[in-house]
């Protein structure tokens, strides 16, 4: 198999340049990789842009979104921003589908609250990251039926448990106290969401373990490294989530599975 070619796009002007554009299209056709530096991604987020993937396209069919952990704390916040974008988008669609779904009144209150929290998390990171916030992920959910209670809750559980494990695992990369505190303030809310979603699926369950249905299926939550989180999130993302330069050493949590 020939080695895949790569190109790096660092400014919107490059995309308007005929030669760049030609090479870009050629490279895409050949299955090559294109890396967009963060500054370009906002410019590419419109659906009608030549490079802008849209909602519902196949997972991983879009351009790479690189999170470069050599940037330190900023990268960890970008990583969190990426995950919060997915959660916010998911619950926004869940709430938008209420007219056709079978959730009880109480469940709608819960899901609307969670939607609000996740949108606020996303927008908070957007504000906090400032110039480093310039990437927008497009989502895809395969054939998920947003009107189907069971499917929606199962996906919600996946997102919330993954969010908890992602924050718990990424905290060790943070070097600034304020950032660690911020992550801590959010992760426990994600854990509250996880427990409530799980209680909607299996009320008052005590079932423990990896496939346990309990609101709290383990005495210690998981702590996953980015390299474990990204493949679990990728099925919901059109772009190619591309963590780079994550520290070689990962300190495991008590479950030793991250």
Partner 1 sequence: MTTNNTTLLDSIDPEIVQTLAKRQNEIANGAGTNSKLTAALALGSIPVALAALSKDVYGQSASDVLDVLQFALLLEYLEAEFYNRGVQNATVMGIPAADLPIFTTIQAHENAHVAALRAMITAKGATPIAKPNFDYTAKGNVPGFNFAAGQYATFQVLSQAFEDTGVRAYKGQAGRLINDKATLTAALTIHSVEARHAAEIRRLRNLKGWITGRSRDDLPLFTQPIYDGENNASQAGILLLPLGNNNGGGEAVTEAFDEPLTKDQVTAIVTPFLA
Q: Give the residue, chosen from 27, 28, 43, 216, that forms a contact with partner 1 under the rule CB under 8 A.
A: 216
CA terminus-to-terminus distance, the chain = 32
User: Residue 245 corresponds to which tokens in the numbers above?
Assistant: 């330069």
Q: Give the residue, chosen from 20, 23, 45, 112, that forms a contact with partner 1 under the rule CB under 8 A.
A: 112
Site string for partner 1, 180-209 (x = CB under 8 A): xxx-xxxxxxxxxxxxx--x----xxx-x-
Kind plus residue range of the DSSP H or E element containing 18 = helix 18-29
- Taking residue 102's Cβ as centre, other Cβ atoms within 10 Å add up to 11
CB nearer partner 1, residue 56 or residue 184: 184
**174 lies in the binding site for partner 1 (CB under 8 A):** yes
How far is the C-alpha of 37 from the C-alpha of 148, rounded, in Å? 38
Least distance in angstroms from the C-beta of 253 to partner 1 = 4
Least distance in angstroms from the C-beta of 239 to partner 1 = 24
Task: Specify whether the CB–CB gap between 235 and 86 falls below 8 A.
Answer: no
CB nearer partner 1, residue 119 or residue 152: 119
The answer for residues whose C-beta is within 8 angstroms of residue 39's C-beta and 6 or more apart is: 10, 11, 134
Least distance in angstroms from the C-beta of 158 to partner 1 = 16
Q: Give the residue, chosen from 11, 150, 175, 245, that forms a contact with partner 1 under the rule CB under 8 A.
A: 175
CB nearer partner 1, residue 7 or residue 110: 110
CB nearer partner 1, residue 28 or residue 189: 189
The distance from CA 159 to its chain's CA centroid, rounded to whole angstroms, is 8
CB nearer partner 1, residue 24 or residue 159: 159
The pairing of strands 240-244 and 6-9 is unpaired
**31 lies in the binding site for partner 1 (CB under 8 A):** no
Which of these segments, 11-19, 117-125, 151-159, 238-246, binds partner 1 (CB under 8 A)? 117-125
Q: Give the residue, chosen from 28, 64, 171, 232, that forms a contact with partner 1 under the rule CB under 8 A.
A: 171
Q: Tell the burial category of 163 from Cβ atoms under 10 Å away from its Cβ (0-12, 13-18, 19+).
A: buried
CB nearer partner 1, residue 44 or residue 246: 246
CB nearer partner 1, residue 152 or residue 186: 186
The 8-class DSSP code of residue 175 comes to: -
Least distance in angstroms from the C-beta of 190 to partner 1 = 8
How far is the C-alpha of 109 from the C-alpha of 59, rounded, in Å? 30
Residues engaged in binding partner 1 (CB under 8 A): 110, 112-113, 115-117, 119-121, 123-124, 127-128, 164, 167-169, 171-172, 174-175, 177-178, 180-182, 184-196, 199, 204-206, 208, 214-216, 218-223, 251-255
């Amino acid at each position: 198999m020939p080695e895949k070619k790569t190109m790096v796009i660092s400014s919107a002007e490059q995309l308007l340049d005929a030669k760049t554009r030609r090479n870009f299209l050629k490279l895409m056709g050949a299955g090559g990789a294109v890396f967009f530096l963060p500054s370009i991604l906002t410019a590419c987020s419109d659906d009608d842009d030549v490079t802008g993937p849209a909602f519902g396209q196949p997972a991983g069919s879009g351009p790479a979104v690189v999170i470069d952990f050599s940037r330190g704390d900023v990268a960890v916040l970008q990583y969190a921003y990426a995950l919060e974008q997915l959660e916010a988008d998911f619950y926004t669609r869940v709430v938008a589908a209420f007219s056709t779904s079978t959730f009880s009144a109480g469940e709608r209150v819960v899901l609307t609250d969670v939607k609000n929290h996740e949108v606020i998390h996303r927008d908070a990171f957007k504000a906090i990251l400032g110039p480093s916030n310039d990437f927008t992920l497009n989502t895809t959910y395969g054939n998920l039926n947003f009107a189907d209670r069971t499917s929606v809750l199962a996906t919600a559980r996946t997102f919330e448990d993954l969010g908890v494990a992602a924050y718990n695992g990424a905290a060790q990369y943070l070097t600034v106290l304020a950032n660690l505190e911020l992550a801590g303030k959010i992760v426990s809310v994600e854990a509250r969401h996880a427990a409530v979603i799980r209680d909607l699926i299996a009320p008052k369950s005590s079932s423990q373990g990896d496939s346990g249905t309990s609101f709290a299926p383990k005495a210690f939550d998981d702590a996953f490294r980015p390299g474990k989180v990204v493949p679990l999130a990728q099925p919901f993302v059109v772009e190619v989530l591309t963590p780079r330069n994550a520290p070689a050493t990962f300190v495991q949590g008590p479950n030793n599975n991250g």
